[in-house]
Amino acid sequence: MWRPCGVFDTNYDKDQAIIRTQRQWAAVLGGLMAAGLLPYLIGGAILNTCNLILITVISVLGLYILTGMTGQISLGQTAFMAIGAYVMGLMVEHWHLNFWLALPSAMLASGLAGLIFGIPSLRIKGFYLAMATLAAQFIIPWLIVNVRPDLTGGTDTLVIPAPSIGGLVLNTQTRMFYLCLVLAVAGTYYAKNLQRSRIGRAFIAIRDNDLAAESMGVGIFRYKLLSFFICSVYAGLAGALYGIWMRGVSVEHFTLSESIWLLGMLIVGGMSSPAGVWFGAVFIRGLDILVRYIGPFIEPYFSADVGAAVKLGMAPVVFGVVGLLFLIFEPKGLYRIWERFKNYYRLWPFSY
Partner 1 sequence: MRKGSQIFTLVTIFIMFLVIAFPEISLGADKPETIRTVNILDLTGPYAPVTGPLAPGLEDAWKYINTELGGVHGVKVDSITKDFAGKMPLGLSMYNEAITMQPKPLFVTPGSSPLGAALRERIKEDNLICVTATSNEAIYPRAHSFGVYPLYVEMAALGVKYLKDNWKENRPLRIGIITWDTGYGRAIITDEFMEYAKSIGVEIVGTEVFGIREADVTSQLLRLREKKADWLMSNLAASGAVAIKKGCKTMGWDINLYNCFVTEWGTVNLAPPLFQGDITTFPVKSFDETDDPSIQKVTQFFKANNRTIKDKSVFYLIGWQTALVEHHVMKAVVDKHGWNGFNTKNLIEELSHLTEFKPLDGLSEVTYSPERYTMRKARLYKIKDTQVIPLTDFLEVLDMRPKEYR
Binding site for partner 1 (CB under 8 A): 43-49, 52, 145, 153-157, 159, 161-162, 171, 173, 245-248, 250, 252-253, 282-283, 286-287, 289-290, 292-293, 311-312, 329-330, 334, 337, 340-341, 343-344
CB nearer to partner 1: give 80 or 229. Answer: 80
Give the nearest distance from C-beta 276 to partner 1 in angstroms: 13
Torsion over CA: 57, 295, 47, 37 (sign): positive
Give the nearest distance from C-beta 351 to partner 1 in angstroms: 8
Give the nearest distance from C-beta 153 to partner 1 in angstroms: 7
Pairing of strands 158-159, 248-249: antiparallel
CB nearer to partner 1: give 139 or 162. Answer: 162
CB nearer to partner 1: give 193 or 343. Answer: 343
CB nearer to partner 1: give 119 or 312. Answer: 312
CB nearer to partner 1: give 43 or 219. Answer: 43
Give the nearest distance from C-beta 97 to partner 1 in angstroms: 19
Give the nearest distance from C-beta 209 to partner 1 in angstroms: 31
CB nearer to partner 1: give 73 or 334. Answer: 334
Q: What is the 3-state secondary structure (H, E, C) of the chain?
A: CCCCCCCCCCCHHHHHCCCCCHHHHHHHHHHHHHHHHHHHHCCHHHHHHHHHHHHHHHHHHHHHHHHHHCCCCCCCHHHHHHHHHHHHHHHHHHCCCCHHHHHHHHHHHHHHHHHHHHHHHHCCCHHHHHHHHHHHHHHHHHHHHHCCHHHHCCCCCEECCCCEECCEECCCHHHHHHHHHHHHHHHHHHHHHHHCCHHHHHHHHHHHCHHHHHHCCCCHHHHHHHHHHHHHHHHHHHHHHHHHHHCEECHHHCCHHHHHHHHHHHHHHCCCCHHHHHHHHHHHHHHHHHHHHHHHHHHHHCCHHHHHHHHHHHHHHHHHHHHHHHHHHCCCHHHHHHHHHHHHHHHCCCCC
CB nearer to partner 1: give 79 or 199. Answer: 79
Give the nearest distance from C-beta 81 to partner 1 in angstroms: 12
Give the nearest distance from C-beta 331 to partner 1 in angstroms: 14
CB nearer to partner 1: give 230 or 262. Answer: 262
Residue type at position 188: T
Give the nearest distance from C-beta 172 to partner 1 in angstroms: 9
